[in-house]
Structure 1
Amino acid sequence: MILKVICNPDELDVDYHQKVSAFENILSAQRDGNHVVYCDRKLIRHFRGSSHLSSSSLQTISELHFLSREYKTVSNEISVVVHVLFDRSHYVNNLDANGQNIIEISYDYFNSTLRVQPSTLIPENDKDFDFFKIIADGYLNRKSNYNFNLKLSKHCGYGSHTYSVYSEYKSSQKLALCIVDNDVKYPGASVGSTARQFGQNGFCIDGTVEAKMLSVREIESLLPEEVIEEALVSKGYPANSIDVLEKMKRLEQISSGEFRKYFDHKDGITLKQALQPSWSAFWKDFFVAEPTFGIKPCAQNNDCIECGSCIKLDGFGERILEKSLEVMDDSHKRKLFERLSGIILEEWEAIGEKVIAWGCAPKAGRARAS
C-alpha cells in the first residue's frame, strides 16, 4: 500500500523517540519492498542527516527525496491509501475524499515491525489468489505512471471460513483485502452462504480491512473466452469441449452478457435445475434451442418427471480455472486486458485497481531525479 506520512516536523517534540521509532519502521517498509512510503519534502529535509536515524533509514530518506514528486502524484490518485498521522495516537479511522478511500492510522500503530509487513489478500482459495494476481499484474502494466511491484501475503479462507479469517484480521487491525464470489445463481437471487456472512453493508473498508464481492457468480465467470478455448485445446480436454464453449458463447451473446454472470462453469446446469421455482424465469429460455426440448413434458408444465434423460448445458469441469491459469501464466498480461470487453473488462479493472491499491510495493533500485 501507499503509506503517506502526515507529519509537521515542527510538532515532533512530544513523544519524540517513540515517533522516530515508528518512522524508522515505516521507512523499513519502503526499504524492504513491502509498502510504498511517501513523505513531503519538508519532512525529508528535517530528517536528512539526522543523528536520530540509522544509516539505512538515512539512505531510504535520500531515495524518497528523489521519488517524492512521483509518489505524491500517485498517492493522490490511487483508490485506497493509508495516511499515517503523527499528531494522534491509538487511532484508526476511514474517510472518503473525492472518491479516494483513506485509512487514517496514528503513528504508534507502526511501533511494531509486524505492522510494516505486506498487506494480506484473503481469497477463497489458492487459485483465486493466483487469478487476482494475474489481473493485478495486467492492470499494473496498463498504468504507465504506476512504477510499482505487487507484493501481498496470502491467507485463504477456503469457502466457509473466509469470513472468520477476515474477521480475525479486522479485530487485530492488520491490513487486508478480502475478495469473495457472490454465488448468485439467477437475477434477483440471494448471495451465497460465504458472501452472506458479511452482511448487507459489509462490503466496504472497515478499519484496516476491506471486503469486496464480485459482481458475478464465480471467479470462472471472469475467464476470457479466448483463454478458455486455449485451455480446452492445449490442456487435454476432449474434442467436444469446443462445442460446449461455442454454445456458451452463443448463449452469452443472445443474453447480452447475462448468461455467464450466473452460469456454473464447472458443473453446468440441467433442465431440472432450470425449472426450479424462481430459476425458470431466467434459465428455461436457454434450453429452448436444445434438440429434445420441445418433446419434454417437463418443458411444458415446468415440473420435472425424473425421465432419466435430462437435458444439460455442460460446464468445463473442476479444473477449468487451474488450466486457464496455466494459459494466462504464459501470456503477456497487458495483452490479456486489451482483448476484454463488457462485464469481464469492468470486473478485471475493478479487481486490478483494488489489488494494486492494497498490494503496491516499490521497485528495487529506483530513484528519479526531481
Structure 2
Amino acid sequence: MLFQFDATLANIDPTSHAQIRALENLLGAFQSGNHFLFCRMKELRTLIAKVTGHVSSPSLAMLQTMLNRSVEDWEFAKNLEYKVIVFIDDEKSAIYREKNLWNVSLHYLAHSGLLQSAILGENELDAELFLIFADFYRRKHGIRSFGVKARLKSGGGSGLPTAIERYLECEASPCLSISDSDRFHPAGELSSTVKKCGKIVRERAAVIEYVFLEEREVENLIPLAVLDRVVELDRFLGAFDCLFSDCPELWPYVDLKTGPTLKWMRAQDSRTQEFWARAKVRLEKKRQGCPSCDHATIDVAETCSCSAIPGFGPGLLEKCIAYLRDNPPRLVLQLLNNDTRWERIGKIAFNFAVIPFGERAA
C-alpha cells in the first residue's frame, strides 16, 4: 500500500528516539517489499539532511533510492485512490480517515508493526482471487514498475465480522476485507454479515477498508469466457442462451454453483420476483415439463426443486483460480476483457497490495 510522507516530515526531530524508530519501521517495510513509500523531492531532501547520522545505513540508502525515483513515483502515486498519509504529531497516536485517505501519525507507527497488507475474504480462495484480479488490473493498465503482494486471510463466511474484529485487535497493518452481497437483484436486502462488517469498520480507527460485491457472490465476477475454459459449457448453453441472451442483467445474481429453481423464483419477495420475471417466463415457455423429475408440466413447478438453470457444481471457484493462475497472462487477460465486472475489485485490491519492484514485473 502507498504510505506517503506529508510536508510535516521535513520537521522531524532527529534526536527523538520515537520518531526515528517509526521512520526506521517504515523504511524497513519498504525495503522488505511490503509497501510503497513516497515523499516529494523537496521534503525528502530536507528529511535526508536531518536524519543523516541518526538512522542506519540501510535506511539512509532507502531514502536515497526514494529520492532517485521521486519524479517517476509521483506520477504513479498521485493516481492511487487509497493511501496512508504519514504526519508528525508527538502528542498522541493519531489516526483518522477522510474518504479513501488515512492520516496516520508517525507516533502511531512507532508503536505498531507494519507487515504486508492483508486481504481478508470469506475464505482464502476468495482472497486469492481478489489478489489475482489485482495483478490483472496491473497488467491491463500497463503498470510495470509495481507489483502486488498481500497476506491472504479467511473470515469463515458469516464469521467475517468476528475475523475483522480479531484482526484489528492483533494488527495495525493495512487490511482490505471483501464479502459477497448475497443479493438476488441489485436493490436486494444486504445480509446481516455485510451490515455487521460495515459497522465495525466505520467505528474503528484503523487502516482498513470493507467492501461488498455488487454481484451476488464471488463466482459471479468470473467472465463466461473463463468459465468456458474450466467447465463443460455445452450442457449449460441451452439455459444460458435462453436466459442471458435476453436477460444479461441476471448474470451477476445467479447462484452459479447450484443454479436457481422455478420453485425458488416463485417463492421470493415481490421485488425479487419482478427482477426475475422475464427469466421465469422464458424458462416456463421453453420447458414442457421437468426433465429431471416426475413433474409432467410446468404448472407444478412450485413443488419442483430441480434447477431451472443447471449449476456448475462445487469446486467452481477453485478450478477458475487454477486456470487464471496457471495460464499465460496475455491469454487470461484477453478472456477477462470480455467482461470487466472483476475490475472494480481488482482496482481496490491493487491499491492495498501495491509494492514497487522495478524491472521485475512481467
TM-score, normalised to structure 2's length? Answer: 0.85
Paired with 1:200 and 1:110, the residues of 2 have a C-alpha distance of 25
Among candidates 133, 136, 151, match of residue 134 of structure 2: 136
Among candidates 78, 81, 84, match of residue 80 of structure 2: 78
Report deviation, 1:30: 1.0
Q: Secondary structure at the match of 1:130?
A: helix
Match of 2:234 in 1: 242
Match of 1:157 in 2: 155
Among candidates 91, 96, 99, match of residue 93 of structure 1: 96
Report deviation, 1:246: 4.8
Among candidates 126, 144, 147, match of residue 145 of structure 2: 147
Unaligned runs of 5+ in 1: 234-240
Paired with 2:201 and 2:44, the residues of 1 have a C-alpha distance of 38
Paired with 1:349 and 1:204, the residues of 2 have a C-alpha distance of 28
**Paired letter, 1:58:** L
Match of 1:295 in 2: 297
Report deviation, 1:263: 0.6
Paired with 2:199 and 2:251, the residues of 1 have a C-alpha distance of 24
Unaligned runs of 5+ in 2: 290-295
Answer whether contact 2:287 2:298 (CA < 8 A) is retained.
no
Paired with 1:143 and 1:76, the residues of 2 have a C-alpha distance of 15
What is the 5 A alignment of 1:189-268? 189-199=188-198, 207-233=206-232, 241-255=233-247, 257-268=248-259
Answer whether contact 2:147 2:355 (CA < 8 A) is retained.
yes
Kindly tell me the number of residue pairs found equivalent between the two proteins: 345
Report deviation, 1:92: 0.6
Q: Which digits, 9 at most, give the CA deviation of each residue in 1:12-48, with x for residues without a partner?
A: 2386222111111111111100001112223432325
Answer whether contact 1:170 1:208 (CA < 8 A) is retained.
no
Paired with 2:202 and 2:275, the residues of 1 have a C-alpha distance of 27
1:45–1:189 Cα change, 3 Å: closer
Displaced runs of 4 or more, over 6 A = 200-206
**Paired letter, 2:346:** G
Paired with 1:122 and 1:68, the residues of 2 have a C-alpha distance of 31
Answer whether contact 1:136 1:355 (CA < 8 A) is retained.
yes
Report deviation, 1:168: 3.0
Q: Which digits, 9 at most, give the CA deviation of each residue in 1:33-90, with x for residues without a partner?
A: 0001112223432325811111111111121111111222222110101000124541
Q: Which digits, 9 at most, give the CA deviation of each residue in 1:193-246, with x for residues without a partner?
A: 42232358968996311001110001111111121111124xxxxxxx522145
1:105–1:58 Cα change, 3 Å: same
Q: Secondary structure at the match of 1:350?
A: helix
Report deviation, 1:364: 5.8
Report deviation, 1:119: 1.0
Report deviation, 1:174: 3.8
Paired with 1:128 and 1:286, the residues of 2 have a C-alpha distance of 33
Report deviation, 1:2: 0.7
Structure 1, 102-111 or 188-197: larger mean CA deviation: 188-197
Q: Which digits, 9 at most, give the CA deviation of each residue in 1:282-301, with x for residues without a partner?
A: 332352243225932236xx
Paired with 2:348 and 2:31, the residues of 1 have a C-alpha distance of 23
Structure 1, 53-62 or 142-151: larger mean CA deviation: 142-151
Among candidates 274, 299, 306, match of residue 281 of structure 1: 274
Match of 2:293 in 1: none
Answer whether contact 1:33 1:364 (CA < 8 A) is retained.
no
Among candidates 337, 349, 354, match of residue 360 of structure 1: 354
Q: Percent identity?
A: 26
What is the 5 A alignment of 1:328-347? 328-340=324-336, 344-345=339-340, 347=341
Paired with 1:313 and 1:131, the residues of 2 have a C-alpha distance of 25
1:188–1:203 Cα change, 3 Å: farther
TM-score, normalised to structure 1's length? Answer: 0.84
Among candidates 272, 280, 291, match of residue 263 of structure 2: 272
Q: Secondary structure at the match of 2:85?
A: strand
Answer whether contact 1:94 1:205 (CA < 8 A) is retained.
no
Paired with 2:203 and 2:327, the residues of 1 have a C-alpha distance of 32
Answer whether contact 2:4 2:85 (CA < 8 A) is retained.
yes
1:264–1:203 Cα change, 3 Å: farther
**Paired letter, 1:251:** L
Q: Which digits, 9 at most, give the CA deviation of each residue in 1:244-290, with x for residues without a partner?
A: 145225422211x2221111100112221111042433332352243
Answer whether contact 1:182 1:216 (CA < 8 A) is retained.
yes
Match of 1:238 in 2: none
Match of 2:32 in 1: 32
